[in-house]
Amino acid sequence: MPSLPTLTVLLPLLSLAGLFYSASVDETFPQGCTSTSSLCFYSLLLPVTVPVYVFFHLWTWMGIKLFRHN
């Protein structure tokens, strides 16, 4: 099992790579999801937002921990 820092870096990168792969290669990828008024846009935005939020939340937490102990 990979460590927490490794997962913190790999999870957002894999999510982003999967989204780029789907957008560029997959023919069944929803077209026309660029309008912010469509539900399709938010269904694609949410899976990307969650790992990025977790990454930066843990990054900030680790920074605060290191700042307090040094």
Q: What is the per-residue pLDDT for 16? A: 78
Could you tell me the two tokens for 63? 């920074």
Q: What is the per-residue pLDDT for 70? A: 60
Q: What is the per-residue pLDDT for 34? A: 67
Asked whether the beta carbons of 61 and 69 are under 8 A apart, the reply is: no
C-alpha triplet 10, 14, 17: angle, nearest 5°:
140
Q: What pLDDT, in 10s, does the model give residues 17-70?
A: 877 777 777 776 667 676 777 777 777 777 778 778 888 888 888 888 888 766
